[in-house]
Amino acid sequence: MPVPAPKWTRQPELRPRQIMAAALDVFAAKGFERATMDEVAEAAGVTKGTIYLYFRNKLDLFIQTLRTHVEGVTDLLPSVRVAAGEDVEAGARLLAKALLDVLMTPTMTKVFHLFIAEVKQIPELRQAYIEEWLPQAGLRIATLLEEGVRSGALRPLDPVITARAIMGMFSAFVLTQEVFGMKDITPMPLDEIANTIVTISFRGVLAS
């Protein structure tokens, strides 16, 4: 007599990732408040109670989901390496393209939007941004710029403002193309975006 298939199996190692993956999708699709724990559970293939074995409450699930996926992304970033060579501008183009590839990832897009949407309501997010994510990204760029200014290679612009302006160009495309859904209406090749951003950043729009 065949043993009937078990209704469920123990997966204590797997469950958290499984749940957070589902949570990211559901939260991204409906927003934090509109998403229900039942939807997350169903998307994860478990029942609601199971989520509470691994996460204290909905907010905890949300925060951990974002943190984990951000880490997953920043793990990719080392591959975004400066091709530090003779031609800085050419290296920057490669870099910009690599960065855009990461930012436009489905995962990153979702994280990005959720973060912007909820940062004002959730102090933990703001704190993570200020204490972890901001230094990892913005300050690194600002430092590079500062050195460039000091060496005379770059104009004497405020490095923090400049860094933020440049990052703003990147995020503009994440927001409009992916979040606002413009990629179907005004499709743009990623490398053309990267090239344009780099050209503007280095040399501006004026014909020389």
Distance CA 171, CA 50 (A): 36
Rounded CA-CA distance 87/199 in Å is 14
Using CB under 7 A, which of 37, 43, 100, 174 touches DNA? 37
Of positions 1, 2, 7, 189, contacts DNA by CB under 7 A: 7
| x/- track of binding to a copy of itself for residues 170-199 (CB under 8 A) | xxxx-xx--xxxx--xx-x---xx--xx-x
- Distance CA(198)–CA(190), nearest Å, equals 12
The mark string for 42-81 relative to DNA (x by CB under 7 A, - otherwise) is ----xxxxx-xx---xxx----------------------
Provide, rounded to whole angstroms, the least separation between the CB of residue 65 and a copy of itself: 17
DSSP 77: G
CB of 55 to DNA, least distance (A): 8
Query: What region, left, alpha or beta, does residue 169 occupy, with left being phi > 0 and alpha being psi -120 to 50 degrees?
Result: alpha
Binders of a copy of itself among residues 25 to 54 (CB under 8 A) are 30-34
Closest by Cα among 95, 112, 116, 129 to 201? 95
